[in-house]
A = this chain, B = another copy of it.
Amino acid sequence: MYTVKEIAQKTNLTEHTIRYYTDKGLVPNIQRDKYNNRLFDEESLNWLIRVKYLKDCGMSIKDVKHFVDLYLEGDSSIPLRYEIILKYREIAREQLEEATRRVEFMEEKAKRYHKIINQVISDNR
């Protein structure tokens, strides 16, 4: 069983964010100890990781909550959950393309600045 702090380190989320997510109901069946402290087991940790992936695909808190609720409804919601996953898989693929273009842009920029700076140095020799 992990505390908020340990989970923060493991997931690279802030403690604030983890509390925010749990309060919003994004982690089902979250436990508390006798002092009311949040306690995460492996399953809760995995949920948080899943939530993070969905969020990073651009899914809103509200829609993640909806997805979690669908999961809690049981197997009958599987086809709908599959549809949602397919949609966000597509978004993830687009994000990958954009990220690739972004890296290319930044490398190009860096190369250009590097050239300019080296030019100035050789001019001064």
Q: Which residues of A contact B (CB under 8 A)?
A: 53, 56-57, 78-79, 81-82, 85-86, 88-89, 92-93, 95-96, 98-100, 102-103, 105-107, 109-110, 113-114, 116-117
Q: Classify the interface of chain A: helix, strand, loop or mixed.
A: helix
- Looking at A81, A96, A116, which has the most chain B CB atoms within 10 Å of its CB? A96
Nearest CB of B to A54, in Å: 9
Q: Which of B78, B105, B109 contacts A113 (CB 8 A)?
A: B78
A96 and B89 contacting across the interface, CB-CB below 8 Å: no
Q: How far is the CA of A48 from the CA of B40 in the complex (A)?
A: 44
* Other-chain contact of A105, B53, B79, B99 (Cβ < 8 Å): B53
